[in-house]
Amino acid sequence: MSRRRKQRMMRIGSGLVPLGSAAYSADYSARVRAAGLEDDDAEWDARDIDDRRLRLARQITMYSNEWTGCPEAICQRMRGCMAPRVHCTNVPQPGEAELDAAWPQTLVIWRRALAEAEEDGERERTRKEPR
């Protein structure tokens, strides 16, 4: 007897749609447009980097869409996470003590990733250099 993996569903409008379906993607696109976060190809300044980071963080939160109904009026109107405060109201945020306790491990992970990226860049440069 085979067990089928149950498809996760999300309520959009008056119906349920499977996560990852075309309707779900269209809903994400509609929410991004409504939030004014669609990526335009216009040139951007280095001065706008903080704004770009906040926009990207908000898009990531909106994509994960942990919305199950929240007190934010805009989320209720759009029937999905709009991340008006850059993070979803439904997801509990870690406290200062938790962040402080996790910082040393985060720093180790960050340094390893940076070292790996530098090694990859060095390998790429040596591969492209003529001998």
Domain of 75, in residue numbers: 9-93
Backbone φ, ψ for residue 12 (5° rounding) = -130, 120
Q: According to the model, what pLDDT value does residue 111 have?
A: 93
Claim to verify: residue 85 and residue 99 sit in the same structural domain:
no
Average pLDDT over every residue of 2-31 = 68
Spatial separation of the C-alpha atoms in residues 122 and 110, rounded to whole Å = 18
Claim to verify: residue 16 and residue 38 sit in the same structural domain:
yes
pTM of the model: 0.49
- Whether 103 is in a domain gets the answer yes
* DSSP annotation string for 55-100: HHHHHHHHHH---S--S-HHHHHHTS---TTSS-TTSPPPPHHHHH
- Whether 1 is in a domain gets the answer no
Q: What is the pLDDT of residues 27-84, one digit of tens each?
A: 778 888 888 887 655 566 666 778 888 888 888 888 877 667 778 888 877 777 787 8
- Whether 67 is in a domain gets the answer yes
